[in-house]
Amino acid sequence: MTTSAVKTLSQLANHQEFIQRHIGPDANETAAMLAELGVSSMEELIAQTVPASIRLPKPLAIGEATTEADALAYLKAAASKNKLFKSYIGMGYHPTLTPNVILRNVLENPGWYTAYTPYQPEIAQGRLEALLNFQQVSLDLTGMELASASLLDEATAAAEAMALAKRVAKSKANTYFIADDVHPQTIDVVRTRAEMFGFDVIIGKATDAVNHDVFGALLQYPSTTGEVRNDSGLIAALQAKKAVVAVAADMMSLLLLKSPGELGADVVLGSAQRFGVPMAFGGPHSAFFATRDDYKRSMPGRIIGVSKDRRGNQALRMAMQTREQHIRREKANSNICTAQVLLANMASFFAVYHGPEGLKNIAERIHRSADVFAAGLQAKGVSLVHNTWFDTVTFKVADRAAVVARAIAAEVNLRTDISESLSVSFNELTSASDIAQLFDIVLGAGHGLDVTKLDADIVAKGSNSIPADLVRTSKYLTHPVFNQYHSETEMLRYIKKLENKDLALNHSMISLGSCTMKLNATAEMIPVTWPEFGSLHPFVPRDQAEGYYQMIGELANWLVDITGYDAVSMQPNSGAQGEYAGMIAIRKYHESRGDSHRNVCLIPVSAHGTNPATAAMACFEVVLVDCDKSGNIDMADLKAKAEAVSDKLAAIMVTYPSTHGVFEESIRELCDIIHAHGGQVYMDGANMNAQVGITSPGFIGADVSHLNLHKTFCIPHGGGGPGMGPIGVKKQLAPFMPNHSVVKIEGTGQDNGAVSAAPFGSAGILPISWMYIKMMGGDGLRQATEMAILSANYMAKKLGEHFPVLYVGTNGRVAHECIIDMRPLKEKTGVTEMDIAKRLMDYGFHAPTMSFPVAGTLMIEPTESESKVELDKFITAMTSIRNEIAKVEAGEWTADNNPLHFAPHTMEDIFDPSWDRPYERQYAAFPAQYVAENKFWPTVTRIDDVYGDRNLMCACPSPEDYR
Ligand SMILES: Cc1ncc(COP(=O)(O)O)c(C=O)c1O
């Protein structure tokens, strides 16, 4: 061996190792793919693909790559700076015990966390069932008729309730009422939304609501300071004035309290966090939202419905999607796309695991803790602010500062933001000794109170802290699913049974265009469930969250570098939420310059539905810009439209590379045109996976972008959420980024409103993106982008031999995704893009994105994480499908009797004794050799969407119906 071949110790340490794990193709595979494209190097390919004018002149300033072990050790040291005090702050966030069987087999299980939104329901029946269970929990506890399958958080759900009220209320008023005892962060978010919609808001004592002419009102049950009040009279009085009443409720309390539905509410919403989901410094958590059946067409977010498959078996799917933004665009009910599926599923499993009795026991324990605490305080002459409570006791003490000091010394957080009072919210983890400790804190040593004795008194005499007319008598969770999986063995198997029905990234590539289903590395996921990150309440004093601030600060700095912007806000907790925050910043920027009249937002016709939906939410008038034959923005049309609205031009929302998967040459010119007319450029960051390290929105000339951290930066999709959508902005927009009424954020206007309930959105999943960037380093990130572009071009080349590739750039290259056009084949043979999508399931693959951005097409995004072996498998599948279509074309199979038409095939299908198809059963199920090695069986055949919407049913069907 020559000396030069001998590696140094530092080289042997292999700090780059993670890069090679994250990027699928190795050096040989990369060379083969480049050769297939007829280029000699990656640099040559990138030069052909990315316009020279937008190439970054220097590498990212992010440092070197770090090994998994080193990155974890560094982050652990940072996390250890978080102080894990006992939290009694409440305000919608409570300590909870995630049952270990759920922790390990759902939250920490890639079978659950790497799935996508269930757009292909035949291979998503598991999470659809878990979501249906979530809807059932929501329905039972709220006492309403229709529930949706998770919203982003309680505060945004309340804002959605206001928007729904405006849509459905018969009142013509333009004012919304918010009770002053709603959680402050909810008031903040609703107020921001109202301002955007142009509604007036009155915040006042709940009972005062009837004295105003309002189209709706928001109440909290129990109130933020704990009062349990019967608002049924108030609700009826408001409804008599044609207003729509929403109640933000605590899910745990509803196990003991009369449901808001029984009190007459029109909408009931709230957080499901305390059903087993860690507080995680504010999220991710799922919100529930339930309403009257009459309002079903006005519901925000996703609804899971029961339908049937081709064989008549019951099958689940997302219902009534025509309400959503991808169809209704600026007229949609909301811009919600990514929601909180993983967390909704955890909450639903929590209910399945404990069952109605177990849950009631937890709720009674929490309530008893509050009763005992209140009794002790009363015995010592401490005055309580309310006579009623479920879990929260608010009280006045003369020596408030001393009490707070004793609490901090004892590593206990009380709620301290209520003037002259303090409050304590009890939780599932509270023990008798915790109550005794709280007595010491509030009363000082030597108080002489005995928790056991106080408890015995309550047992003997009863409690009236829940008023008699509000004691729950109606039943809940009577469905068998909540009553049969209470041993751990049964629970484990139920979770596994559902997991087995779903195709996730741990089975095969999911090539959904625009969704970036890349590796979610295990090392990235590990910190998420560290207690140092998981157990923190979002409103703790800053000195208890130094680890979080450090991690968030470092991540924000890296994102500033990557995006070429000047500042980042971490508050939005989805991409669409980021769009909303960005559009608010643009609007406020114009207002600050006396340009309030600038209200037009240009949006290319190819835009994702969330863009127009968001623009409408921020009260912009949407003007569409055409695309030319090559799929690029029609610059002549853009110029003409910008010219026509010049004085009123506020912004453009543009995706780059385009939703058509191309690096348009004209992007700088586009930015210049918009700026020349006084507008701002919103660059949708969904396609950042094609930019990182090669170009950046800031460098190109855009002013603001959201980043889908759940795409480019490795947060897994969770089956439809969680996500994070931080925005990056140029400095002129920085003063208009969101702030927060409870936790003030530096670097933006101190009076700005919030867009999410928590100051840093779903902070608990930010360590995933932090780990990714730390382990990749600047060079690794650029390599990932290059490989994403190579893989897409390889795919386009190979598939292009069988299907037309719809759009390519100047040099015939695509960006990080490609669109193949199924319309010509459909015309000739009747085989649709839907048939192809379903047939891919028989080949063990999830379909690419269907009919977006162009109807009748499939958009494929392989990402950098898939090896050439996996890419080739997919190509084999698509080629084989093309051969099947050829047989239909040749008349060998008829259009309505072929494997595409009947796809996907279930086991029941294959073993059906009456099989009489013109193709073999064996071929139907094992159409390629590789399939046999790792067969994925869809559990239902093709689902009837129309039937499901016509016969809307969104609750758990009785088990007899499952046949
Ligand atoms: C181009 C584009 N913009 C915006 C979004 C919305 O992001 P999110 O789903 O995180 O709300 C998506 C989501 O798929 C997208 O593809």
Quick check: CB of 337 below 6 Å from ligand 1?
A: yes
Nearest-atom index, ligand 1, CA of 711? 10
Quick check: CB of 574 below 6 Å from ligand 1?
A: yes
What is the token pair recorded at 294? 């009459």
Q: What CATH class has 356-470?
A: alpha beta
Quick check: CB of 906 below 6 Å from ligand 1?
A: no
Whether residue 722 has a cis bond before it, omega within 30° of 0: yes
**Tens digit of pLDDT for each residue in 69-97?**
999 999 999 999 999 999 999 999 999 99
What is the token pair recorded at 260? 């808001």
What Å distances lie between residue 587 and 195, 581, 598, 618, 620, CA to CA? Answer: 11, 10, 8, 8, 9
What is the token pair recorded at 39? 């280029």
Of all protein residues, the one whose alpha carbon is nearest to atom 14 of ligand 1 is 515
Quick check: CB of 609 below 6 Å from ligand 1?
A: no
Residue 937 Cα to ligand 1 midpoint, Å, equals 29
Contact predicate 303/541, CB 8 Å = no
User: What is the rounded distance in angstroms from the CA atom of residue 757 to the CA atom of residue 189?
Assistant: 7
Residue 141: CB atoms within 10 A of its CB come to 32
How many Cα atoms occupy the beta-carbon half-sphere of 668 within 13 Å?
11
Phi first, then psi: what are they for 461, rounded to 5°? -95, -15
pLDDT over 50 at 545, yes or no: yes
User: What is the rounded distance in angstroms from the CA atom of residue 816 to the CA atom of residue 790?
Assistant: 8
User: What is the rounded distance in angstroms from the CA atom of residue 232 to the CA atom of residue 263?
Assistant: 5
Angle between helices 766-800 and 868-889 (to 10 degrees): 40
**Tens digit of pLDDT for each residue in 214-243?**
999 999 999 999 999 999 999 999 999 999
User: What is the rounded distance in angstroms from the CA atom of residue 804 to the CA atom of residue 827?
Assistant: 14
Of all protein residues, the one whose alpha carbon is nearest to atom 9 of ligand 1 is 338
pLDDT above 70: percentage of residues in the chain: 99
Question: In this predicted structure, what is the pLDDT of residue 3?
Answer: 58
Element (H, E) at 306: strand 304-308
User: What is the rounded distance in angstroms from the CA atom of residue 77 to the CA atom of residue 490?
Assistant: 38
The verdict on pTM exceeding 0.85 is: yes
Residue 581 Cα to ligand 1 midpoint, Å, equals 14
What Å distances lie between residue 217 and 204, 417, 562, 833, CA to CA? Answer: 11, 24, 43, 45
Whether residue 853 has a cis bond before it, omega within 30° of 0: yes
Listing DSSP states for 18-30 in one string gives HHHHHS-S-HHHH
Quick check: CB of 726 below 6 Å from ligand 1?
A: no
What is the token pair recorded at 206? 């709940």
* Residues contacting 192, CB < 8 A, separation 6+: 159, 584, 738, 753, 754, 755
User: What is the rounded distance in angstroms from the CA atom of residue 17 to the CA atom of residue 13?
Assistant: 9
User: What is the rounded distance in angstroms from the CA atom of residue 480 to the CA atom of residue 784?
Assistant: 48
- Of the candidates 383, 405, 407, 406, the one whose C-alpha atom is nearest the C-alpha of residue 394 is 383
Residue 226's region, left for phi above 0, alpha for psi from -120 to 50, else beta, is: left
pLDDT over 80 at 612, yes or no: yes
Q: Map out the domains of the chain as residue ranges.
A: 356-470, 541-761, 777-949
Of all protein residues, the one whose alpha carbon is nearest to atom 7 of ligand 1 is 575
pLDDT above 90: percentage of residues in the chain: 97
Tell me the residue ranges of DSSP E strands in 398-516: 412-413, 421-425
Q: What is the dihedral of CA 130, 352, 491, 523, to 10 degrees?
A: 60
Topology alike, domains 541-761 and 777-949: no
Quick check: CB of 723 below 6 Å from ligand 1?
A: yes
User: What is the rounded distance in angstroms from the CA atom of residue 875 to the CA atom of residue 870?
Assistant: 9
Residue owning tokens 């290259």:
813
Own/partner pairs for 850-855, CB < 8 Å, 24+ apart? Answer: 850/119, 852/326, 852/513, 852/514, 852/608, 852/659, 853/606, 853/607, 853/608, 853/659, 853/660, 853/819, 854/606, 854/660, 854/806, 854/819, 854/821
Quick check: CB of 684 below 6 Å from ligand 1?
A: yes
Element (H, E) at 267: strand 267-271
Quick check: CB of 848 below 6 Å from ligand 1?
A: no
pLDDT over 70 at 584, yes or no: yes
Categorize the per-residue pLDDT at 2 as very low, low, confident or very high, splitting at 50, 70 and 90: low
Question: In this predicted structure, what is the pLDDT of residue 963?
Answer: 47
Residue 577 Cα to ligand 1 midpoint, Å, equals 10
- Report the relative pairing of strands 304-308 and 314-318 from DSSP bridges: antiparallel
Quick check: CB of 610 below 6 Å from ligand 1?
A: yes
Mean pLDDT estimate for the chain: 97
Phi first, then psi: what are they for 163, rounded to 5°? -65, -40
**Tens digit of pLDDT for each residue in 273-311?**
999 999 999 999 999 999 999 999 999 999 999 999 999
Residue owning tokens 């300071």:
225
User: What is the rounded distance in angstroms from the CA atom of residue 247 to the CA atom of residue 161?
Assistant: 9
**Tens digit of pLDDT for each residue in 401-428?**
999 999 999 999 999 999 899 999 999 9
The best mutation among 153, 334, 337 to test binding of ligand 1, ranked by most ligand atoms within 8 Å of the C-beta, falls on 337
Whether residue 759 has a cis bond before it, omega within 30° of 0: no
Residue 542 DSSP class: G
Q: How far apart are the first and last CA of the chain?
A: 69
Contact predicate 513/849, CB 8 Å = yes
Residue 714 Cα to ligand 1 midpoint, Å, equals 15
Nearest-atom index, ligand 1, CA of 684? 3
Tell me the residue ranges of DSSP E strands in 376-450: 383-384, 392-396, 412-413, 421-425
Residue 733 Cα to ligand 1 midpoint, Å, equals 22
Question: In this predicted structure, what is the pLDDT of residue 205?
Answer: 98
Q: What is the dihedral of CA 271, 274, 278, 284, to 10 degrees?
A: -10
Domain 777-949 of CATH type 3.40.50.720: no
User: What is the rounded distance in angstroms from the CA atom of residue 744 to the CA atom of residue 742?
Assistant: 6
Contact predicate 920/931, CB 8 Å = no
Residues in the chain: 963
- Of the candidates 741, 696, 768, the one whose C-alpha atom is nearest the C-alpha of residue 552 is 768
**Tens digit of pLDDT for each residue in 32-50?**
999 999 999 999 999 999 9
**Tens digit of pLDDT for each residue in 363-386?**
999 999 999 999 999 999 999 999
Question: In this predicted structure, what is the pLDDT of residue 323?
Answer: 84
User: What is the rounded distance in angstroms from the CA atom of residue 360 to the CA atom of residue 363?
Assistant: 5
pLDDT over 90 at 119, yes or no: yes
| Neighbour-count burial of 776, counting CB atoms closer than 10 A to its CB (0-12 exposed, 13-18 middle, 19+ buried) | buried
What is the token pair recorded at 741? 């009424």
Question: In this predicted structure, what is the pLDDT of residue 631?
Answer: 86
Region 817-838: mean pLDDT is 97
User: What is the rounded distance in angstroms from the CA atom of residue 868 to the CA atom of residue 30?
Assistant: 8
Rg (CA), the chain: 28
User: What is the rounded distance in angstroms from the CA atom of residue 33 to the CA atom of residue 398?
Assistant: 75
User: What is the rounded distance in angstroms from the CA atom of residue 562 to the CA atom of residue 578?
Assistant: 17
**Tens digit of pLDDT for each residue in 865-922?**
999 999 999 999 999 999 999 999 999 999 999 999 999 999 999 999 999 999 999 9
Residue owning tokens 């009443």:
245
**Tens digit of pLDDT for each residue in 616-651?**
999 999 999 999 988 899 999 999 999 999 999 999
Nearest-atom index, ligand 1, CA of 708? 10
Residue 725 Cα to ligand 1 midpoint, Å, equals 9
Q: Helix and strand tally (H, E) in the chain?
A: 33, 24
Fold for the domain defined by 541-761: Aspartate Aminotransferase; domain 2 (3.40.640)
Nearest-atom index, ligand 1, CA of 335? 11
Coil, strand or helix at 217:
strand
Phi first, then psi: what are they for 308, rounded to 5°? -140, 160
Quick check: CB of 762 below 6 Å from ligand 1?
A: no
Quick check: CB of 516 below 6 Å from ligand 1?
A: no
Quick check: CB of 514 below 6 Å from ligand 1?
A: yes
Element (H, E) at 797: helix 766-800
Question: In this predicted structure, what is the pLDDT of residue 244?
Answer: 98
Nearest-atom index, ligand 1, CA of 515? 14
Tell me the residue ranges of DSSP E strands in 138-192: 146-147, 175-179
Contact predicate 601/650, CB 8 Å = yes
Region 938-962: mean pLDDT is 89
| Neighbour-count burial of 447, counting CB atoms closer than 10 A to its CB (0-12 exposed, 13-18 middle, 19+ buried) | middle
Residue 648 Cα to ligand 1 midpoint, Å, equals 27
